[in-house]
Structures are given as C-alpha cells and as structure tokens.
C-alpha cells in the first residue's frame, strides 16, 4: 500500500457527495456521513466511479474518519 501524495489527495473528492476523501490503506473514504462511501486504489490509481464504490458500515466509517480528524 502506497500513500498518495498529500497535495493530490487534497484535490480529490467523492464523486457522489463531493466531500473530501481520506486514505485508509488501499481505499479512499468519503468524509460525508450521509453516503459513507469508499473507493479502492488499484496500483496507486484511485477508482473514483460511483458504481465501483461501496457504502461502509457506520461503525467502520466512524473509525476511519474519526482517526483522520484532529482535536480542536
């Protein structure tokens, strides 16, 4: 699993909700709590197609997105 360049990741958005994405291993996870979508990364290339994404269970989504948020 290779980390995406932070500048590249900063411009990527969920194709469904347009929310920012965070990387979780070989997945990009939407920060939108309504859709909770994730999209795979194949050989370093994000597959940002709605039909290729999947909805995450809420608990798993909270674990991923919560770990990316810094305390205020």
pLDDT tens per residue across span 1-19: 779 999 999 999 999 999 9
What is the average per-residue pLDDT within 45-72?
Answer: 87
Q: Name, in order, each residue with C-beta under 8 angstroms of 52's C-beta and a sequence gap of 6 or more.
A: 39, 40
Residue 29 burial (CB < 10 Å; 0-12/13-18/19+)?
buried
Model confidence over 34-53: pLDDT tens digits?
Answer: 999 999 999 999 999 999 99
Provide the pLDDT for residue 70. Answer: 46
What structural domains and CATH numbers belong to the chain?
6-67 (2.20.25.10)
């Amino acid at each position: 699993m290779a980390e995406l360049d932070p500048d590249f990741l900063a411009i990527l958005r969920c194709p469904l909700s347009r929310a920012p994405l965070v990387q979780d291993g070989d997945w990009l996870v939407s920060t939108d709590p309504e859709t909770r979508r994730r999209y795979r990364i194949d050989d370093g290339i994000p597959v940002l197609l709605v039909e290729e994404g999947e909805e995450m269970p809420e608990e798993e989504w909270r674990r991923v997105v919560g770990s990316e948020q810094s305390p205020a």
